[in-house]
Amino acid sequence: MLAILSVTFPFFALVLCGYLAARRTLLPLAAIPGLNAFVLYFALPCLLFRFGAGTPIGRLLDGGVAGVYLLGALLMVGLTVAVTLSHRINWNDAAFGALVAAFPNNGFMGVPLLLALLGPASSGPVIVTIAIDMVITSSLCIALSRVGSGHGRDALRNALQGMLRNPLPWAIALGALASAAGLALPGPLMRTVGLLADAASPVALFTMGAVLARSQMGSAAVTHWRDYVPVAFKKLLLHPLLMLGLGLGARALGVPLERQALAVIVLVACLPSASNVAILAERFGADTGRIARIILVSTALSFLSFSGAVALAQHWLK
C-alpha cells in the first residue's frame, strides 16, 4: 500500500498545490483560463495522440471495454437523476449532478495516473473511456438538463458543436488512424509533440486544483451537505462497483473483456469527478456551487479510496 501511495501522492499533491495557489491568490484567477487552454488545446491532445499512435488499434477499438463502460455510464446517469430529482433539485441541476457522478477525471488525472501505476497497457481502455464520456455521456446530460425548458433541441445542437470543437476526440482519432496505418511523425515534429505531452500531466493536475478553488470561491450560495455529499459517494463507490459487476457479468456471458482491461475501467470509475463539469454547469445555468462541492469532496476522498482500489486491483491481477 505504501508503494501505491508513493505513486499517487505526487498527483494529488499537484492538485492541492493548484488549489492553494488559487486560494492564496498566488495564481491570479484570470490566469486559469490560459492554463486550461494550454492543457486542452496543446498538451493533452499531444499526450492522447502519442498514446493512441503507440497503442495497437485492436485495443483502441475494444468493443467489450466500450460496451461495459458505456452501459455503466448510462446506468449511473439514469440512477442519479432518478434519486436526486425533487422539488429542490430541478432537471437542470439533476442532469449535471448525474454528469458529475458518471464522468470521472479520466483526462486530467486518469491518463497519467493509470499509466504510472499499470503501465502502457492501460492506455487503450483509458482512451476508450475518454471518448465515450466526451462524446456520449456529456451530450446526453446536457440534453437532459434542458428537459422542461423548451430548448432541448438547441441544447443538443450546442452539445454536438462543442464536441466537434473539442480537440481531445480529434487527437484520439488521429492517434488511432496513425496506429492503424503504421504512420509515424518526422523526428523533430514527434519530439515537439513529446515535449508538450510530457507537460500535460503536471500542468493539468495543477490547473485542476486551481479550477476547483475558483469554482468554490465563485459560489456564494449555501448548499446543504445532503445535496452534494451523497453524489460524491456515488461517484467513488457506486460507480466502480457498478463497472465491476457489469464487467464480471459480461465476462461470464462470453464477452471478450480482458482482466486487465476490466481492472482499468473499474479504476477509471474510482477516479474523482471531472473538474470541467463545473464549467459546463456554469455555462448552462446549473447550481455551480453544488457541482464544485461534489468535485471537491470526491477529489479529497479519492486519495485514499483510489489508492485502496489500486491495491485490490493489483492483487486481483496477480
pLDDT in tens, 255-289: 989 999 999 999 999 999 987 787 777 777 788 78
- Mean pLDDT taken over the chain: 85
User: Is the pLDDT score of 318 beyond 70?
Assistant: yes
Domain span at residue 292? 2-317
Distance CA 37, CA 44 (A): 10
Stated pTM of the model: 0.84
CA distance 85 to 231: 12
What's the farthest any 2 CA atoms get from each other in the chain? Answer: 59
Higher-confidence residue of 227 and 41: namely: 41
For residue 209, what are the contacts with CB-CB under 8 A and spacing of at least 6? 14, 15, 16, 17, 18, 19, 20, 21, 22
Q: Which of 49-63, 69-83, 99-113 has the highest mean pLDDT?
A: 69-83
CB atoms within 10 A of CB 92: 20
CA separation for the pair 9, 4 (Å, rounded): 8
For the domain that residue 80 is a member of, what is the CATH number?
1.20.1530.20
What phi and psi values does residue 104 have, to the nearest 5 degrees? Answer: -80, 165
Domain count for the chain: 1
**Residue 89 pLDDT > 90, yes or no?**
no
Q: Which string of DSSP letters, residue by residue, matches 122-182?
A: GHHHHHHHHHHIIIIIHHHHHHHHTTTTT-HHHHHHHHHHHHHH-HHHHHHHHHHHHHHHT
pLDDT per residue as tens digits for the range 122-181: 888 988 898 899 888 988 888 888 775 555 566 566 656 666 777 878 888 898 888 888
Residue 76: CB atoms within 10 A of its CB come to 23
* Per-residue b or e along 121-152, where b marks 16 or more CB atoms closer than 10 Å to that residue's CB: ebbbbbbbbbbbbbbbbbbbbbbbbbbeeeee
Spatial neighbors of 261 by CB under 8 A, at least 6 apart, are 59, 62, 64, 65, 124, 125
Binned at pLDDT 50, 70 and 90, residue 245 comes out as: very high
Q: Exposure pattern of 226-237 as b/e (b: 16+ CB <10 Å)?
A: ebbbbbbbbbbe
- pLDDT for residue 135: 81
Instruction: Report how far residue 211's alpha carbon sits from residue 18's, in angstroms, rounded to the nearest whole number.
Output: 8
Which of 39-43, 67-71, 225-229 bottoms out in mean pLDDT, i.e. has the lowest? 225-229
Whole-angstrom distance, CA of residue 234 vs CA of residue 187: 46
